[in-house]
Chain A
Amino acid sequence: MDTLGHILNGFNVALMPINLWYTFLGCFMGTIIGILPGIGPAAGIGLLIPITFGMDPTSALIMMAGIYYGAMYGGSTTSILINTPGEASSVMTALDGYQMAKKGRAGAALAVSAIGSFLAGTFGIVALTMLAVPLAAVALKFGPAEYFCLMLFALAAVSSLTGKSAAKGIMSTVLGLMVATIGIDLQSGQPRYTMGVPELQDGVGFLVVVVGMFAIGEVLSNLEEHIKGKAEIIRLSGKLWLTREEWRRSVMPIIRGGVIGFFKGVLPGAGATIATMMSYMVEKRISKTPEKFGTGMIEGVAGPEAANNAATCGAMVPLLTLGIPGSGATAVLMGAFIMYGIQPGPLLFEKRPDLVWGLVDSMYIGNIMLLILNLPLIGIFVRILYIPTGILLSLILAISAIGVYSINGNALELQMALMFGIVGYVFRKIDIPLAPMVLALVLGGIMEQSFRQAMTISGADPRVFVGSGICITLLVLAVITVLLPVLLPRLRAMKEGPEDLDS
């Protein structure tokens, strides 16, 4: 079957009643997870993986992806109504969205984020569909050395772009790779760093780390915020629709946000959060009244909201075509793939086109479902915000226990998850980003494998890593991404003198 045939056949898979149901379930839970404080898409997917073990992998992945992009829709709700972004990618939405809500335009803010998310999300899936095939074809030519360099580039980009300090990002990455080395070495059969604990022989469970760092750690941070004080919830008022004037002002920001978001999503490390910041800055820069941003400008809601949804589609590109996720949430998604015994990457397009295209095509349907869930039905979801935070956070800890215990039925893993929860809490306090560590943990095993394969092929000659144009390009890119944040401000300062970089 040709590619177009595969793409169309994907709709047959996606439109199967059972898969429609799981798409809906994923989008529904994604919206809730996006609204809930203390739980993001990464933790949400991680907590739900064990429940899906009996399911068909295609259905399970359709649901997981639904949670991922659904959370982007839900995240805007809390930003607008209580000025508390559920996810980092909704921070920009809060700037003008909350101000709009204060002025009684909460309905318009919610409507424009839902519509913008839908339009940009759909654009993102079209772009994903078109970009996936050629990229997978290129990736098929990659040998172990090329793969190693590619992973190095992805990790370098995530390390230097996710946090404030490149050094802390690199630390987080290296720690993740170190955790990945725990357990029996598959090539030599030697146990490494197990300290005689039998549970560690299979390595540290991926979900133990994800649930620990993203769910338990996040709850600990939130509990601390909770006792400091509580945000006021703004009641939804007014019609959930835009005036003609608001609509006119939102169209271009949605288009620009969608394009920025998609391409930022494709690049490793940049991801949804940076895409929203860029979109916001672009809108502010080209606006005739930049000084009004932060006081309830609809452009400041439409652009970033479009950007974060397009970014989630963009982020699916490297995950599916290369098998290399570029962010924390896609890393967890990749973990889910691996747990179902599926290795995402170029070969998957040849071996399981039904799965790949069924998943991609389900996203078109999911976006329509999300538009309905988030526009006419948003009033129902908003009620979630009235659940007392103290109850909610306690329950998330109990769910974490179920999630971790259900993997292996091992109570020791619960304690390990708690340990990673403390690590996650401390890392948040001291500004060490979590995403690089989780990404490194997912890639660690494959990365070491390709490193050793490449070295075996070359007879332990490290020059294999500079042996092809692709390798050299990727290594140069990796070095540039690490040095860029250090060098860029200096270059700018040399050229223009001191400049204020307010965002």
Chain B
Amino acid sequence: MLIDRIIGAAAMLLAAVYLYATSQIPTLEIGDPLGPKAFPMLLGIALIAAAILLFIETLKADADEGEKAPRGSMRHWWLIGGVTGWTALYFGLFDRAGYLIATVMYLLPMMAVFNPGKWVANVLTTVLWAVGSYVLFVKILGVVLPVGLLGF
């Protein structure tokens, strides 16, 4: 299967980068015969070995004639991409905007997309959730969350 070949190649590449980074660690060997490099070196080699094992497995699977499952449509990919980007934005503004504002701004569009058409329920849940969780975590459980723009 093509995807497994790509995984194997990616693992090889990662192992190479990791091994290179390992070789760049400066060492002062005092009382520690191995130093900080030895264990990571083994890990790099282990990853290469796993990639080779995967190639062998793919060869076997190809010989057994693996079925080609059609992947889902592209719609899912841009959806996941969108959610990821939106969440990244939420996390990025978490500090500056503050938990309450950022969370409300984040949740409303999320719910509008994934629970469409139910405006009242969505808005109510969002606001109740944001305020409720803030009170629960900050006031009762003593967790520190950013206040941001509200500054109270």
A interface, CB within 8 angstroms of B:
50-51, 54, 165-168, 170-171, 174-175, 177-178, 181, 185, 187-188, 190, 192-193, 216, 220, 223-224, 226-228, 388-391, 393-395, 397-399, 401-402, 405-406, 409, 411, 414-415, 417-418, 421-422, 425, 430, 432, 448, 451-452, 455-456, 459-460
Residues A452 and B39 in contact, CB atoms below 8 Å apart: yes
Q: CB-defined interface of B120-152 with A at 8 Å, one 1/0 digit per residue? A: 011001000100010001000111111000000
Given contacts A171-B47, A220-B83, A227-B114, contact A459 B33 (CB under 8 A): yes
Give which listed residue, B36, B92, B113, contacts A185 with CB less than 8 A.
B36
Interface of B is mostly: helix
Given contacts A411-B91, A451-B39, contact A165 B57 (CB under 8 A): yes
Can you report 29 A-B residue pairs in the complex whose CB atoms are below 8 A from each other? A51-B141, A166-B57, A167-B54, A168-B50, A174-B50, A188-B28, A190-B26, A192-B22, A192-B25, A220-B80, A223-B80, A224-B72, A227-B76, A388-B121, A389-B114, A390-B111, A390-B116, A394-B110, A398-B103, A402-B145, A405-B146, A411-B95, A418-B91, A425-B80, A452-B32, A452-B39, A456-B33, A459-B33, A460-B33
Other than A168-B54, A181-B40, A402-B143, give 6 A-B pairs with Cβ distance below 8 A.
A167-B54, A171-B47, A224-B72, A402-B137, A406-B143, A432-B7
Confirm or deny: B74 has a beta carbon within 8 angstroms of a beta carbon on chain A. no
Residues B39 and A190 in contact, CB atoms below 8 Å apart: no
- Give the CA-CA distance A211 to B61 in the complex, in Å: 34
Please name all residues of chain B whose beta carbon is closer than 8 Å to the beta carbon of A430 when the two chains form the complex: 3-4, 7
**Of residues 63 to 118 in B, which have CB atoms within 8 Å of A's CB atoms?**
72, 75-76, 79-80, 83-84, 87-88, 90-92, 94-95, 99, 103, 106-107, 110-111, 113-116, 118
- Give the CA-CA distance A171 to B114 in the complex, in Å: 34
Please name all residues of chain B whose beta carbon is closer than 8 Å to the beta carbon of A460 when the two chains form the complex: 33-34
Residues B115 and A388 in contact, CB atoms below 8 Å apart: yes
Please name all residues of chain B whose beta carbon is closer than 8 Å to the beta carbon of A406 when the two chains form the complex: 137, 143-145
Which A residue sits closest to B45, measured CB to CB? A174
B interface, CB within 8 angstroms of A:
3-4, 7, 11, 14, 18, 21-22, 25-28, 31-36, 38-40, 43, 46-47, 49-51, 53-54, 56-57, 72, 75-76, 79-80, 83-84, 87-88, 90-92, 94-95, 99, 103, 106-107, 110-111, 113-116, 118, 121-122, 125, 129, 133, 137, 141-146
- Give the CA-CA distance A173 to B113 in the complex, in Å: 36
Give which listed residue, A51, A192, A391, A401, contacts B94 with CB less than 8 A.
A401
Residues B79 and A227 in contact, CB atoms below 8 Å apart: yes
Please name all residues of chain B whose beta carbon is closer than 8 Å to the beta carbon of A223 when the two chains form the complex: 79-80, 83, 114
Residues A418 and B84 in contact, CB atoms below 8 Å apart: yes
Which A residue sits closest to B108, measured CB to CB? A394
Given contacts A220-B80, A223-B83, A452-B34, contact A192 B91 (CB under 8 A): no
Residues A224 and B80 in contact, CB atoms below 8 Å apart: yes
Expressed in whole angstroms, the minimum distance between the Cβ of A129 and any Cβ of chain B is 33
Please name all residues of chain A whose beta carbon is closer than 8 Å to the beta carbon of B75 when the two chains form the complex: 227
- Give the CA-CA distance A216 to B80 in the complex, in Å: 11
- Give the CA-CA distance A220 to B113 in the complex, in Å: 14
Given contacts A51-B137, A174-B50, contact A418 B87 (CB under 8 A): yes
Please name all residues of chain B whose beta carbon is closer than 8 Å to the beta carbon of A391 when the two chains form the complex: 111, 114-115, 121-122, 125
Please name all residues of chain B whose beta carbon is closer than 8 Å to the beta carbon of A456 when the two chains form the complex: 31-34
Give which listed residue, A178, A187, A192, A411, contacts B32 with CB less than 8 A.
A187
- Give the CA-CA distance A58 to B6 in the complex, in Å: 46
Please name all residues of chain A whose beta carbon is closer than 8 Å to the beta carbon of B4 when the two chains form the complex: 165, 430
- Give the CA-CA distance A266 to B122 in the complex, in Å: 45
Residues A415 and B33 in contact, CB atoms below 8 Å apart: no
Residues B91 and A167 in contact, CB atoms below 8 Å apart: no
Give which listed residue, B79, B83, B107, contacts A395 with CB less than 8 A.
B107
Which A residue sits closest to B76, measured CB to CB? A224
Which A residue sits closest to B36, measured CB to CB? A185
Which A residue sits closest to B46, measured CB to CB? A174
Residues A411 and B92 in contact, CB atoms below 8 Å apart: yes
Residues A170 and B7 in contact, CB atoms below 8 Å apart: no
Residues B39 and A448 in contact, CB atoms below 8 Å apart: yes
- Give the CA-CA distance A388 to B3 in the complex, in Å: 34
Which A residue sits closest to B26, measured CB to CB? A190
Please name all residues of chain A whose beta carbon is closer than 8 Å to the beta carbon of B116 when the two chains form the complex: 390
- Give the CA-CA distance A389 to B116 in the complex, in Å: 11
Which A residue sits closest to B143, measured CB to CB? A406
Please name all residues of chain A whose beta carbon is closer than 8 Å to the beta carbon of B115 when the two chains form the complex: 388-391, 394
